[in-house]
Amino acid sequence: MLANIKLYLDYIFVGPSMISFVVGRLLTVVLLLLLGLSNSFAMVPVPESSQLEALRQAFPDADRIGEKAPVGDSEMLVRQLFDGEELIGYAFESDDVVDIAAYSGKPINMLVAFDTEGNFRHSQVLEHHEPILLVGIPEQKLFDFADQYRQLKITDKVRVGAANSEDVISVDAVSGATVTVMVVNETIMRAARKVAMELGIAGLSKTAKTPPATVKTDLHRQASWSELTGDGSIRRLYLTRGDIDEAFKGTAAEGPGHGEQKRQQPFIELYYAPVNIPTIGRNLLGDSQYNWLMGEIKPGDQVIAVMGEGRYSFKGNGYVRGGIFDRTQLRQDGKVISFHDTDYYRLDDVFIDGFPGFMEMALFIVRNQYEFDLGKPWQLELLVRRQVGALDSVFTSFFGDYSTPEQYIERPQPVVAEPEAEPEPLWVSVWRDRAFQIGVLSVSLVLLTAVIFLQDWAVRYPKYLHLFRRLFLVYTVVFIGWYTLGQLSIVNVFTFVHALMGRFQWEVFLLDPMLFILWGFVAMTLLLWGRGIFCGWLCPFGALQELINELARKLKIKQFEPPFGLHERLWAVKYIILLVLFAISLESLSEAERYAEVEPFKTAIMLKFQREWGYVLYAGGLLFVSIFTRKVYCRYFCPLGAALAIPAKIRLFDWLKRRKECGQPCRICANECEIQAIHPDGKINANECHYCLDCQMTYYNHDKCPPLVQKKRKALKQAEAKRIPTVDVSEPVS
């Protein structure tokens, strides 16, 4: 029954008729309060039965959908989908995985599903509280936005709007709700990656990542050649001619082979070891040469000593300066590490006891860029080549393994990679993307502040100040309003108040940099000079009304002003509207946001009149009335203006000057004030003043302000009286 009453009232006052929107809305509010109806107008959450049906459509092969259950060691609740006994997908609600506040201060709950390969199969909005979507932009646009993810993978890099990189996928935004869809994108992608990482699918894993092992630089003992080769500190790779023959069997380089005696002859004998380890490096090189070498290399570099004897050179006879060593390289974790001439030092002197001596010795530097880890096994690779023609040759490789003895290294504790770690908060990305808008707005606010500070000088040039004001109003409508959607609303006030009463998050307000900067500026000017700076200069809808009225006056359209007594009573209407909306917001913020449609801002500014004809008729009617009476909505119906006027009572400065003659006998300023903010007694009502500075231009005008006119006349008379008459002596006296 209660729902039917709401529908009936909405049909009368919001439906096709739209005869009296403001009165109808207020009457609806009063009736609902009297009947005790306070159900939310927010989006009705999608029931579980509908969610399951959506998952069946997304996974037509699924014959069983599991219940929500924690995944791994986490508290995330995930459903599993099966085809017989085969697991084919996962589904979850984003509220069970992440908590990302949207513009309303509350998260947008999404149903997300993907298969075991990480392909999105379903993404659906289950619940939201976004004011721009509750009444304004059709919710279907948000639903359509979420559908775009069905073509993507959870490992994709997704960006809302134009992408400037080939590896980033762009999804279409929703005009007028950019912040909301950016939060949806963040919610879907972050939640999906977090679940996938916990499950270990699509190449994402929560397995521990171990930082590279570090050398114990303070550990050193004297040791001989036999001791270091015996405990594995120095390793050996020994190849005979027979080993080489076997390696080339079955290839184009297969030779006739050698006799048994020749097969046993050594081909190459290699010894290799990492010399960063003090026990190895100091014993091989000596303290002086070791200290020099450690000073030459960069942090993170590793040095490998290679020493060889035999028929085959591990450096190669074809090596030239500026080239690469094509016979010797390292391998670790599938990475191949080659050495250039800049990675090579000659090794001439070895001082270790029992050193047998070698024909060929070298020091190779493994640069830090390879992330070589002495704590992991690695291999020395020797490439052997045989010519099969004038230009062609065949290669084969031989490997010597190496594992660093544990006593030489220290292994750090594993570090678990968490999916929640984001490179930067969402609001930081938003601010960076809107740098141009932020810059232009900041410059304009600085300019406006300068005009306010220099107003006593600026008002002495009324022609230029009038021109500046008109241009600024055009800028406010076009740039602040229609381009950046920087229209402040009473909804912002309610959102801030409720945030203070609940869990306050700066990130919620930082999501829209234009509104954040404007509110910061309004707060400052409110404390210093009152509400007039915003209402008179920075409100796009107010500026639009004023420009329309300016044009009407230029066209000599007759203006109508209510008597001051009625005008003074009508001031109270906006405060009544504010109190009613605030009372509703205490019960339900979503419902208050819906009734805040008494503001035409969303229709005229945010959506640029792209709405149902009833809303357009209401906003257009207010603008039409502005042709005949200046800023009717701002003066009598605006709850935002009323909300700003209340704290403006504590303003610190009153820079609008008055004279004792103002009001009695002079009423020029009062008669010329186009919003009637000056009382008949000459006093300016700061709660209603829009700080247009017209009265200050009159205040300093010696040809208009009666006290100044009188003073000017008196000065002229005194100058005339002091003037000395002269006699023309050029003519003869008769």
| CA gap 247, 240 in Å, rounded | 11
DSSP-derived 3-state class of residue 401 = strand
Q: Among candidates 517, 509, 510, 519, which has minimal Cα distance to 430?
A: 510
Tokens representing 14 are 């919001």
Contact 203, 155 (CB under 8 A): yes
Q: What is the DSSP letter of 211?
A: P
pLDDT at position 470 is: 94
Query: 352-356 long-range CB contacts below 8 Å, 24 or more apart?
Result: 352/223, 352/224, 352/225, 352/228, 352/283, 352/284, 353/224, 353/225, 354/224, 354/225, 354/226, 355/225, 356/225
pLDDT at position 668 is: 86
Tokens representing 54 are 């959506």
pLDDT at position 576 is: 93
> What SS3 string covers 614-644?
HHHHHHHHHHHHCCCCCCHHHHHCCHHHHHH
Residue-range domain boundaries for the chain: 2-35, 48-205, 232-404, 426-710
Looking at the DSSP bridge assignments, the partners of residue 361 are 307
pLDDT at position 16 is: 38
- Centre a 10 Å sphere on the Cβ of residue 382 and count the other Cβ atoms it contains: 23
The sign of the dihedral angle between the CA atoms of 204, 206, 211, 212 is negative
Q: CB burial class (10 A; 0-12, 13-18, 19+) of residue 679?
A: middle
Tokens representing 623 are 């603008």
pLDDT at position 415 is: 60
Looking at the DSSP bridge assignments, the partners of residue 138 are none
Query: 462-467 long-range CB contacts below 8 Å, 24 or more apart?
Result: 462/697, 462/701, 465/693, 465/697
DSSP-derived 3-state class of residue 82 = strand
| CA gap 111, 187 in Å, rounded | 10
For tokens 């171990």, the residue is 210
Q: CB burial class (10 A; 0-12, 13-18, 19+) of residue 299?
A: exposed
Q: Return averaged pLDDT per consecutive 10 residues of the chain, 734 residues in all.
A: 41 39 43 36 74 92 90 86 90 89 78 93 87 63 87 85 65 70 86 88 68 89 94 94 86 76 89 95 93 92 94 74 77 80 88 92 90 91 80 78 93 61 65 88 95 93 93 95 89 76 67 88 91 93 94 92 87 92 81 84 86 88 93 92 88 88 84 85 87 89 85 83 58 45
Tokens representing 539 are 């409100």
pLDDT at position 18 is: 37
| CA gap 216, 277 in Å, rounded | 7
Q: What is the CA radius of gyration of the chain?
A: 41
| CA gap 430, 510 in Å, rounded | 9
- The structure's pTM equals 0.57
